[in-house]
Amino acid sequence: MKPFDPGLVHAPVTPFKRDQSVDYPTYAKIIEFHLRNGAEALALPMPEGEDMSLRDGELRELFEFAIKQVKGRVPVLAHVSDAGTSLAVNRAVHAEKTGAAAIISHPPYFWHPRPAMVVEHIARIGAAVKVPFYVCSPPVESAGTELTSDMVMQLIERVPNLVGVVDASLDFVFMEEVISGGRRLRPGFQLLAGRDYLVSAAALGGNGAIVPLAGIAPKALRRVYDLCRQQKFTEARGMQEDIAHLHHLVREAGISGLKDGLAGIKCAMALMGRECGMPRPPVRPIGEVERGRFEEAVQALPFLKAEPRGW
């Protein structure tokens, strides 16, 4: 059997209506946009899909909706992270039953347990499902404990269906250790680049990528991804710098202490003609004045001229 290899994975945002309910008609449009624009798989809801702001029931419903909408055209990876182990385990089981091609999970939200307990938490989630399992670094340091390469090695020993790491740490040392050490323990062990930084991970021998900015700039990400697949890393530099520039603008927009970019992504999506509403509270949308400045800065990025407008 061919090992599971998700390739270029798009991470859609989650749209909300003014009454804070999930806007499913728009979510359907978002999913279709990604499938038409180069997604080889979808991962949802990633941190940029505001997983932390969704309730347990909503997360299940959202995943069921996505599976129905995609209808098997591409694999759908379910991101299941929570503060409590049993909460995450139960939702992972639900996602698998619903049709998830793989489960992604990171160290628990909020708590800072000792490394052994973090390993235990993740191992239990992985053991609860049979589909391929990925462990993910938490999106920001303050959202939970750091995922270390030692933890990854212990998890490989304990969890037979652990096929790889989704790297959101962007840390060169972590990537080197996980790829070289991981493959010694489990040949073919994968590293998927997270957060739109593809070149370094690919040069080190990483596999695919999960790209949250694909809703804004799918063509540029596809180009960098293809160049990386062809081992043309130096050629990918210019486009990766462009994407890093967009990433910078998105992260710096809004007043989030985490610089999570949630307000920026949705604002840039709207600017590209794909209105997805506002982020859920307590995340504030970008204020009027800043919005103007942000839009000017984004529109001044020459590479975005080649990107699709509207749905």
Q: Which amino acid is at 97?
A: K
- b/e burial code for range 202-227 (CB count within 10 A of at least 16 → b): bebebbbbbbbbbbbbbbbbbbbbeb
Q: Which is nearer to other proteins, 234 or 299 (CB)?
A: 234
Least distance between other proteins and beta carbon 240 (Å): 7
> Residue 73 or residue 237: which is nearer to other proteins going by CB?
237
Gap between the Cα atoms of 183 and 191, Å rounded: 10
Residue 284, token pair as written in the block:
């504030």
Q: Between 128 and 179, whose beta carbon lies closer to other proteins?
A: 179
Distance in Å, CB of 160 to other proteins, minimum: 24
CB of 181 to other proteins, least distance (A): 9
Question: What residues have CB less than 8 Å from 286, skipping those under 6 apart?
Answer: 253, 254, 263, 264, 267, 294
Tokens of 50: 């505001």
Nearest residue (CB) to other proteins, 110 versus 172: 172
Q: How far is the CB of 40 from other proteins (least distance, A)?
A: 22
* Assigned token pair, 276: 């997805």
User: Hey, is 96 helix, strand or coil?
Assistant: helix
Interface with other proteins by CB under 8 A: which residues? 141, 170-173, 175-177, 179-180, 195, 197, 199-201, 203-205, 231, 233-234, 236-237, 240-241, 244-245, 247-248
> Least Å distance between CB 79 and other proteins?
20
Q: Which residue's structure tokens are 């081992």? A: 231
Our CB check for other proteins shows the closer of 117 and 203 to be 203
22 vs 193, which CB is nearer to other proteins?
193
The least CB distance from residue 169 to other proteins, in Å, is: 8
The rounded distance, in Å, linking the Cα atoms of 10 and 210 is 6
